[in-house]
Chains A and B, each alone.
Chain A
């Protein structure tokens, strides 16, 4: 017998028999049993959404079918030939992605996403621990420092201090005991380059640390990783255990007589603990607050002993520099900024994510080539680099090279690698307020200018965005910013005003529009905008009125609607649902 259609019933799920019974019952009732065949199948591909049925030859899938749904499917789809849209399963679509850029160069990330991070053999297969073997069996500490000097590697945590010099200071510091520390307290909003390295290639960081320990003469090291990175911590612990089993950590590594071991310490969520002196206090079990420098950690660090502290990315570069030579590393980058840098590109670009590019690449290349350009092809406005202590770089500097000195020269910083791209719809005052809120919250409170000053700056910025800005506010912000920079001990306070100062410098007219005209040019600040319906354009479909969460919209069907500005909360839903674009924002 030939059938007109077949219905497959996936048997995954307890309710499958009941659904099948309902199907058969309804089919019989409508005398379709000679035309339609019901078949049992094991699974149709969506076992997590039982009961699934498929109708062929139409190729229509229904998921989460109940017996009642089954009857509807028979009457509507099989009897009347109309697929039941609400029950129908549709494949989620993947947006096409711009082609990957060839401007990426992977040094730090060479293994990340390629090897199994929980299998040390995978790392060894990619020449892992070869650099350590070379250092311990063939090189003197001075030779390692010379190679590091030739490489030109600078601290990747953001400050950019030459790594070789840091190592030399720690090596030359007298002390019976010394330590190496890895700073994995990555706290900038939207930045997760270090997490990626720790999770994807932990042994590269461990190898770099062992080499640093050998150079300065340390036998104990600490990983300081924030507790918000549980997977990175687990991966690291697995890696340390495997390295110990192979004797790459422990006593007499490579028969050289050199002993070294590592421990992981978790940060408890304070942003300021990424600052090196606060970080070391935190490891000691003290409250994480910065202390004055000098003395620098190289002289008096952890428990008062000479300590070398570098960032995750800095250590991850070391094995490559030893294996391929300082000259090779120095061949990438600019005169003063060598090698590559990882960045987290976020915001209004097509291709967000984590990248590694040679230093000296222009901002334009990062945004347009690597990032694929601005989302929806809107206009580029600025890029914020260096996290909450960085600044905003406007359009006129798109062709500036990304390196430590150039970014500083325009009021921003390299930082750990945050790269937030903003388009024309971003309000710069609102962005400055967001970052100020973050640093105000994270200030440890030790220095008064930072503790009180950031709060005052936040209050002024909030007033400006809420329509209470006054003439003189901009000057007050500038003055406060300078005081906070001068009067704070650590990088958090010294950098806290940067987002505000740089946006005032490059986007002063936006601040003025907020204060003087009570307008938000980017139409972001809710207190300064108003939604209106253009009577000429409104078709009276009532959709806006039905979707308004506060019932601020009135009007009869097929007649123009009106928004009551005293009730409206400026959520913008009416604009999103309007089919003819009659809702305008001013």
Chain B
């Protein structure tokens, strides 16, 4: 990094990538992977999400990780954003809940109200 202009270029590129349209994505799934999340089983949840998406041939959903949002008691926490709708935060998403979450929210477009934590 030798100049501010170089930094700006990376920023533009990163913002472009973050916009869902920029990568032809229709939804984003974010898994909390801090120590609290991993201790509660976030790695298994993440694996289950990736496997489930692959099995159903869903390719336009981005799956990323993030840190702790502060509600450690409710981990594994998974956030789902479909299109330009508001980000929905789910608590205690173990592997058993993954298929239903994907069926209802990603494929059906309807959030699973009883699992939402905020």
- A: residues with CB less than 8 A from B are 43, 45-49, 92, 94, 97, 99-100, 109, 112-119, 121-122, 124-125, 127, 129-130, 133, 137, 192, 195-196, 199-201, 229, 231-232, 246-248, 252-255, 351-355
Contact = CB atoms under 8 A, between A and B. Distances in A.
16 contacts: A45-B99, A48-B95, A94-B91, A97-B118, A116-B65, A117-B65, A117-B66, A121-B10, A122-B14, A125-B11, A125-B14, A192-B36, A196-B34, A199-B68, A231-B35, A246-B10
Contact of A199 (B35, B96, B114, B115): B35
Contact of A115 (B66, B73, B99): B66
B99 A124 contact: no
B32 A247 contact: no
B2 A247 contact: yes
Contact of B70 (A48, A118, A355): A355
A130 B7 contact: yes
B11 to A, nearest CB: 5
Instruction: Specify the main secondary structure of chain A where it touches its partner.
Output: loop
Given A48-B96, A121-B17, 4 more contacts: A97-B71, A112-B68, A137-B4, A252-B2
Contacts, number: 115
A133 B4 CA distance: 6
Contact of A124 (B3, B7, B73, B117): B7
Given A94-B114, A254-B1, A254-B2, A196 B99 contact: no
Contact of B32 (A92, A113, A232): A113
Contacts of B69: 112-113
A45 B1 CA distance: 48
Contact of B35 (A97, A133, A195): A195
Interface of B: 1-4, 7, 10-11, 13-15, 17-18, 32-36, 38, 64-74, 91-92, 94-96, 99-100, 114-115, 117-118
Contacts of A43: 99
Contacts of A255: 2-3
A231 B74 contact: no
A197 to B, nearest CB: 8
Contacts of B13: 121
A201 B14 contact: no
A350 to B, nearest CB: 10
A248 B66 contact: no
Nearest to B68: A196
B21 to A, nearest CB: 15
